[in-house]
A and B are shown apart, each in its own frame.
Chain A
Amino acid sequence: ILNVEQSPQSLHVQEGDSTNFTCSFPSSNFYALHWYRWETAKSPEALFVMTLNGDEKKKGRISATLNTKEGYSYLYIKGSQPEDSATYLCAFKGGTSYGKLTFGQGTILTVHP
Chain B
Amino acid sequence: NAGVTQTPKFRILKIGQSMTLQCAQDMNHNYMYWYRQDPGMGLKLIYYSVGAGITDKGEVPNGYNVSRSTTEDFPLRLELAAPSQTSVYFCASSGQGGGNQPQHFGDGTRLSIL
Question: Using a CB–CB distance below 8 Å, which chain A residues touch chain B?
Answer: 1, 31-32, 34, 36, 42-46, 49, 51, 89, 91, 93, 97-106
Interface residues of B, count at CB 8 A: 27
The answer to whether A89 touches B43 (Cβ under 8 A) is yes
Which one of B35, B42, B99, B103 contacts A106 once the chains associate, using CB atoms below 8 Å? Answer: B42
Q: In the assembled complex, how far is the CB of residue B4 from the closest CB belonging to chain A, in whole angstroms?
A: 8
B74 CB–A CB distance under 8 Å: no
Question: Using a CB–CB distance below 8 Å, which chain B residues touch chain A?
Answer: 31, 33, 35, 40-45, 48, 50, 56, 58-59, 90, 94, 98-108
Could you name 27 residue pairs across A and B whose Cβ atoms are closer than 8 Å?
A1-B59, A34-B103, A42-B107, A43-B105, A43-B106, A43-B107, A43-B108, A45-B105, A46-B102, A46-B103, A49-B101, A89-B43, A91-B43, A98-B48, A98-B50, A99-B98, A99-B101, A100-B33, A100-B48, A100-B58, A101-B33, A101-B103, A102-B45, A102-B59, A103-B43, A105-B42, A106-B42
Q: Which residues on the A side are within 8 Å of B59 (C-beta)? A: 1, 102
State the total of A-B contacts with C-beta under 8 angstroms: 68
CA distance A95 to B48 in the complex (A): 16
A49-B101, A105-B41, A106-B42 known; A99+B108 contact, CB < 8 A: no
CA distance A89 to B102 in the complex (A): 13
The answer to whether A89 touches B99 (Cβ under 8 A) is no
